[in-house]
Structure 1
Amino acid sequence: MAVKVGMVSLGCSKNQVDGEIMLSLIQRDGYELCGDAEQCDVVIINTCAFIEDAKRESIENILEFCELKRQGVIKAVVVTGCLAERYQQELVTEIPEADVILGIGRNTDIVNAIDQALQGERVVEFAPKDELVMDAERVLTNAPYYAYIKLADGCDNRCTYCAIPNIRGRFRSRKMENILEEVRRFAAQGVTEMNLVAQDTTRYGEDIYGKLMLPELIREVCKVDGVHWVRILYCYPQRVTDELLEVMASEPKVVKYMDVPVQHASGRILKAMNRRDDYDYLRNLMQKIREKIPGVVLRTTFITGFPGETEEDFAEMTRLVKEVKFERVGCFTYSPEDGTPAYSMPEQIDEETKRRRADIVMSEQLAIAEEFARSWIGRELEVVVEGLNEETGIYYGRSYMDAPDIDTRVYFDSPYEHETGEYVMVTVTGSQGYDLVAEEAE
């Protein structure tokens, strides 16, 4: 009987891609992939360590599966991903029940590590971060009609609050031909939505081609038969070029959706974050994006409670939210991360103030999002079908305005039967908070 291996992948889509490469290696070696942890022999926790909440979730998962191992439910616990890379020796010492701890540079050793763990050996392996393999077969772990296409790993921006450069290392792009080969392979399998991701997607290619190559890459991805939607995530504000906007506006397959994390609006705080923007730059950039890409949906993220943030600084943030009217917003409280410059900055903000400010931002955003949703009533919209509520008979899906896993849904009634992954035209009839309600268009 084949040994069953399961994975819990935490954190971002980029970490998910790493996990999918490991699953492909495991499957190719003859192990059986298993979705139910309690039915697995081996469980891999592909961890996140970006902020405190993510670290806590990773550790809770590790301890939960170590307890299942103690009870004899599973045979081995494997820890990979960002927590393993960031806290190497701490994990080795403090969680001796973990049978395998692999740093990101050793992901391709996953099969040997599992083999050894099942023989009763403990495996602890680390390597330089840039040995992380990005060009390899993958087993998709999300719905089969969309995929994340990882363009690069690491980051050189060195924002003072962010641990990613410490965890993932320097920015390094994949070769364009390798990315396009992956896109073609997925398209041939029936994947119709390609979500382009990296820590800084807009910097793609600069390190290996000497210039920003995202616009050219997008054009080539759009040429691939079978690709229906192309979505670009994580655009750094200073690298949103006119060329990029022109490509997004002119390529029909590119969804008019732009994810530009701004983090703050106060020039003083942005400078302390080691970011080069200020209020006027960000406001003008968003205005330019809207002018060059009519109908664009803007997503951003903010951080409240960065060290030294005054009520005046925070007021600039809320003013930008109201003025720009971003359609999609995420807001996080500042998490002091050891090893980052901001960790030891003076004037740390208390948790209650951070939370209060984040709640204010999201309250402002809810009103903007509800107004935006109502503006769609009576209009037609293309939706990818994601499922059917068996009890109500109502389908649900996403429009171009919604990235997988993080944005809103469209709920629609239809007299026809649809499969997940189909694209359907609907007429919006109402809204429920952030979500839209619709019926299939005639």
Structure 2
Amino acid sequence: MKAKTLQKDKVNIITLGCSKNLVDSEVLSGQLKANDIDVAHENEQLDHNIVVINTCGFIDKAKEESINTILEQVDLKKRGKLDKVYVTGCLSERYRGDLESEIPGVDAWFGTMELPLILKKFEADYKAELLGERFLSTPQHYAYLKISEGCNRTCSFCAIPLMRGGHISRPMEDLVKEAENLVKGGVKEIMLIAQELTYYGLDLYKKRSLADLLNKLADIEGLEWIRLHYAYPNKFPMEVLEVMRDRKNICNYLDMPLQHSSDNMLKAMKRQSTRKEMEELIVAIRETNPGICLRTTLITGFPGETLEDVEDVKDFLIKNRFDRVGIFQYSHEENTSAYEFEDNIPAAEKQRRAQEIMEVQQEISLEKNMEKIGQTLRVLIDKKEAGRYLGRTEFDSVEVDNEVVIHSKKKLPIGEFVNVKITKAYDYDLEGEVV
């Protein structure tokens, strides 16, 4: 109970970082609600007295944001605005020992896999029967589905295995049940996420089982879109492409972070692929799934990266013409194998290289968008903003990809599909009218 007012506790969960963290927060919210504890996500009413911060520890900027958020909440507690501040997630998992001494105002720290311990702080029980039941913080029509935890890859730049541990697949029947519950709640689009999708099933079923899982999910009545995020190119299970092609509710979309194209950098990053192998895979993907939208992410400024390596990336983009590209600037992370290298490229130069590469992609993106003028596309309406509707095609994921801007005097229902004729194209967005 809140001592000063005797009001019932209300918990606000603040989520930082990736969609995988968001799912963890949604699971925590569902468990708290099932224990009759009032909970909100990113509460704007400011009527809560307890805060749980789900942190990110992936790269420097994310760590800085997490620490600043913790300090802000601790300050609110000092000023009597909060009773308790709890911290969980990747930053807490990775740096708990240091953080406990540096920020004593936090009431408790938890790692990434300690949900039952968090619940104990609220005198709440972990309810196993709630499997797959979450309190969604996304709009009702889409949700993320985390199919595994952790990662067995050894990429030299990546600290995720330090925070999330080795790869653990979730049983197929649990995932299907969770997806069915989401669809019953109004979800039309499910985005599959993991540290590494294509590894799914190796631990449980002794084979890569993503294709089998996709078939089972595609059978769920009312599930309109299934989207694949974070696939790894090495030993890519090609049967996945055939399932994507044959099942109509699997989006013709694949997010496959490649990180670089220069063989020197790929070797230093321990990516287990060469540029030639990646390009052969890209050709095979497009041959099996014509018209597929390929998204990738790249890293610039890795130790030892030369200007020739940057030119290699630009050439790679021009040759392979990805639909969507994101770029990270290298972050020097302790306890990764790349930490042994000298972080010898200044931050300003990393940023310059990233900008130079994105300018190449910007032209490609505009050219690809221009090709869509005159086409009629199926669009999922996400929201209304500033008097216009914003939606997405099957070729666009939430927040990271293009949007379709729709001007309509007629009211369009949020979370429903409409057919839109594309009339204008921009670098990263489209504009159209409802047919």
Normalised by the shorter chain, which TM-score bucket?
over 0.9
| Contact in 1 for aligned 2:391/2:405 (Cα 8 Å) | yes
Shift in Å at residue 134 of structure 1?
A: 11
Note the 1:219-238 alignment, pairs <5 A: 219-238=215-234
Cross-structure match for 1:256? 252
SS in 2 for 1:109: helix
Deviates more, 1:34-43 or 1:415-424: 34-43
Task: Measure, in 2, the Cα distance between the counterparts of 1:416 and 1:181.
Answer: 37
Task: Measure, in 1, the Cα distance between the counterparts of 2:418 and 2:248.
Answer: 17
Cross-structure match for 2:27? 21
Q: Does 1:332 align with 2:328?
A: yes
| Contact in 2 for aligned 1:107/1:133 (Cα 8 Å) | no
Residues 37 and 334 (structure 1), Cα distance of their counterparts in 2 relative to 1, 3 Å cut: farther
| Contact in 1 for aligned 2:202/2:209 (Cα 8 Å) | yes
| Contact in 2 for aligned 1:153/1:171 (Cα 8 Å) | yes
Select the residue among 135, 144, 147 that pairs with 1:148: 144
Shift in Å at residue 105 of structure 1?
A: 2.4
Note the 1:331-350 alignment, pairs <5 A: 331-346=327-342, 348-350=344-346
Task: Measure, in 2, the Cα distance between the counterparts of 1:180 and 1:110.
Answer: 27
Task: Measure, in 2, the Cα distance between the counterparts of 1:405 and 1:148.
Answer: 13
Q: Does 1:420 align with 2:414?
A: yes
SS in 2 for 1:426: strand
> What do residues 194-226 of structure 1 show as CA deviations (whole Å, max 9, x unaligned)?
111100001100111000000010011000011
Runs (5+) with no aligned partner, structure 2: 1-6
Identical counterparts, % of pairs: 38
**Aligned AA for 1:104?**
T
> What do residues 332-374 of structure 1 show as CA deviations (whole Å, max 9, x unaligned)?
1110001101012146322222111111111111111111111
Cross-structure match for 1:267? 263
Task: Measure, in 1, the Cα distance between the counterparts of 2:114 and 2:336.
Answer: 24
**Aligned AA for 1:439?**
E
TM-score by length of 1: 0.93
Note the 1:47-196 alignment, pairs <5 A: 47-114=55-122, 135-196=131-192
Shift in Å at residue 84 of structure 1?
A: 0.7
Shift in Å at residue 90 of structure 1?
A: 0.9
**Aligned AA for 2:32?**
I
Cross-structure match for 1:5? 11
| Contact in 1 for aligned 2:405/2:430 (Cα 8 Å) | yes
Q: Does 1:386 align with 2:394?
A: no
Deviates more, 1:156-165 or 1:347-356: 347-356
Select the residue among 36, 42, 50 that pairs with 1:42: 50
Task: Measure, in 2, the Cα distance between the counterparts of 1:63 and 1:346.
Answer: 31
Q: CA RMSD in A?
A: 1.7
Task: Measure, in 1, the Cα distance between the counterparts of 2:39 and 2:343.
Answer: 49
Residues 400 and 76 (structure 1), Cα distance of their counterparts in 2 relative to 1, 3 Å cut: same
Shift in Å at residue 283 of structure 1?
A: 1.7
SS in 2 for 1:429: strand
Shift in Å at residue 238 of structure 1?
A: 1.3
Task: Measure, in 2, the Cα distance between the counterparts of 1:273 and 1:225.
Answer: 42
Shift in Å at residue 145 of structure 1?
A: 0.7
Task: Measure, in 2, the Cα distance between the counterparts of 1:252 and 1:136.
Answer: 25
| Contact in 1 for aligned 2:100/2:109 (Cα 8 Å) | yes
| Contact in 2 for aligned 1:135/1:174 (Cα 8 Å) | no
Select the residue among 236, 243, 263 that pairs with 1:240: 236
Task: Measure, in 2, the Cα distance between the counterparts of 1:327 and 1:43.
Answer: 39
Deviates more, 1:409-418 or 1:7-16: 409-418
SS in 2 for 1:105: coil
Shift in Å at residue 239 of structure 1?
A: 3.4
TM-score by length of 2: 0.94
**Aligned AA for 2:18?**
C
| Contact in 1 for aligned 2:132/2:177 (Cα 8 Å) | no
Note the 1:293-442 alignment, pairs <5 A: 293-346=289-342, 348-389=344-385, 391-392=386-387, 394-441=388-435
**Aligned AA for 1:48?**
C
> What do residues 265-296 of structure 1 show as CA deviations (whole Å, max 9, x unaligned)?
01111111111111211222112211111111
Cross-structure match for 2:3? none
Runs (5+) with no aligned partner, structure 1: 117-131
Shift in Å at residue 236 of structure 1?
A: 0.1
| Contact in 2 for aligned 1:37/1:43 (Cα 8 Å) | no
| Contact in 2 for aligned 1:29/1:111 (Cα 8 Å) | no
Aligned length: 424
> What do residues 162-209 of structure 1 show as CA deviations (whole Å, max 9, x unaligned)?
001111111010000000010111111111101111000011001110
| Contact in 1 for aligned 2:332/2:343 (Cα 8 Å) | no
SS in 2 for 1:237: coil
Residues 90 and 135 (structure 1), Cα distance of their counterparts in 2 relative to 1, 3 Å cut: farther
Residues 133 and 44 (structure 1), Cα distance of their counterparts in 2 relative to 1, 3 Å cut: farther
SS in 1 for 2:372: coil
**Aligned AA for 1:398?**
R
Residues 357 and 90 (structure 1), Cα distance of their counterparts in 2 relative to 1, 3 Å cut: same
Task: Measure, in 1, the Cα distance between the counterparts of 2:143 and 2:117.
Answer: 24
